[in-house]
Amino acid sequence: MTTISTSTSAFYERSSMDIADLRARAEGMQADLSRGQRIARSSDDPVGASRLRQLSRADSMSQIDIANAAKATTNLQLTDAALGTFADYVTRIQELTTQAANGTMTDAERAGLGAEIAQIRGNMIQLANSRDVEGGALFGGQSAGDAYTTDAAGNAAYAGTGTAGDLPLGDGQNVTRGLTGSEFLSFPAGSASPDLLTALKTLSDALQAGGAAAQQAARDGLSALDQGLDQITTAQTVVGTRLAWVDLTTERRTSLTEMRSNEETTVGGTDIASTVARLQETMTVLEASQASFTKLASLSLFSLLN
């Protein structure tokens, strides 16, 4: 006959260990549920915790990318609006120059047109020196001061840097934050004038000087104006493309953010349905073992022997 030897203290010890274990398990699941998070410390799931850390890092970088993208969008929109105004100005000067090229014009009338052109050119210089959202020169690249400086004679010279600089949009993508003045106002090498502002100065000076050369100057000016308008509309296209690129990366970022938050929930969130079910199961077992412990513990031979 085999006998299972057991002693009173062994019975109590075993029961208390079992019940304490069940209790600890139930409490752990309850904590998971109330936190909504499966991972309280990294050691609960080292791989998951590391993944969550990387996701939160990507998330916080993405927040900064959003701010940068918004900044780039605003600056590019400012640039776009300014370019639109530039185009309007050039169109208006084209009208005036076409009038001036007419042989029936008197010198006085031409001088008036020249004065108006000079005035519009002044506006264009001011527009070229407008500021971006950060307070820097919108068309000055990375320089701190104005994009164009004018000397006493009224000649405008570009004072900014060669490029506008890039803004990171996240995931290694960049966008050039704007245009420099020289990128859309300067004419290619070999042209009659170095840039549009110089050509306008030549034109308005000649018209105001009057004489036989004025009409010819107006005719010459028209081709320079055509070229200037071409460059401005090309620049508008470039800016529009960059805006579209920023939009594209923003869309991509949004979908990536969604993916990340999905993954965060999958990796770190508590699966409520299954946790509740397991909790219920544990509670049932715990209740049963408590009940059976009470029954067994009250069974003593001493109470039966009289």
Partner 1 sequence: MASDLLSIGRSGAQAARIALDVTAQNIANASSDGYVRRSTRLQEVSSSGGIGSIGDVSLSGVRLEGVVRNADLFRQAEVRRTGADAARADAEVAGLENVQAAVEQSNVYNAMVGFEGSLQQLVGDPTSASLRANVIEAARTMVGTFNIAATALDSVGTGLRFEATDGVTQVNTLSGELARVNLRLARAADASSDQTALLDQRDSLLQQLSAFTDVATTINADSTVELRIGGAGGPLMVQGGSAGTLAMTTAGDGTITFAVSGLTAAPAPAALTGGALAGKAQALVKLADVHARLDGLADAMAGAVNTAQAAGITPANAAGQPLFAGGPPFTAASLALSLTDGAGIATAPAGAGANSRDAGNLNALRTALGNADPVGGMDALLFDVSGTVQGRTVTRDALRTIANGAQVSLQAQAGVDLDQEAVNLVRFQQAFQASGKVMQTAKDIFDTLLAIR
Which residues contact partner 1 (rule: CB under 8 A)? 5-10, 12-14, 17, 41-47, 49-50, 53-54, 56-57, 60-61, 63-65, 67-68, 71, 134, 136, 141-144, 161, 165, 167-168, 300-302, 305
Q: Which two tokens stand for residue 262?
A: 């999905």
Beta carbon of residue 43, minimum distance to partner 1 (angstroms, whole number)? 4
Q: Which is nearer to partner 1, 14 or 35 (CB)?
A: 14
Q: Which is nearer to partner 1, 12 or 155 (CB)?
A: 12
Q: Which is nearer to partner 1, 93 or 246 (CB)?
A: 246
Beta carbon of residue 294, minimum distance to partner 1 (angstroms, whole number)? 17
User: Per DSSP, what are the bridge partners of residue 167?
Assistant: 175
Task: Name residues whose C-beta falls within 8 Å of residue 59's C-beta, 6 or more positions apart in sequence.
Answer: 257, 260
Alpha helices by DSSP H, the chain: 8-35, 46-101, 107-128, 181-185, 196-209, 212-268, 272-297, 301-304
Q: Which is nearer to partner 1, 5 or 106 (CB)?
A: 5
Task: Name residues whose C-beta falls within 8 Å of residue 72's C-beta, 6 or more positions apart in sequence.
Answer: 167, 169, 175, 177, 242, 246
Q: Which is nearer to partner 1, 121 or 177 (CB)?
A: 177
Beta carbon of residue 114, minimum distance to partner 1 (angstroms, whole number)? 37
Task: Name residues whose C-beta falls within 8 Å of residue 49's C-beta, 6 or more positions apart in sequence.
Answer: 39, 41, 42
Q: How far is 257 from 177, CA to CA, in rounded Å? A: 24
Beta carbon of residue 140, minimum distance to partner 1 (angstroms, whole number)? 9
Beta carbon of residue 279, minimum distance to partner 1 (angstroms, whole number)? 20
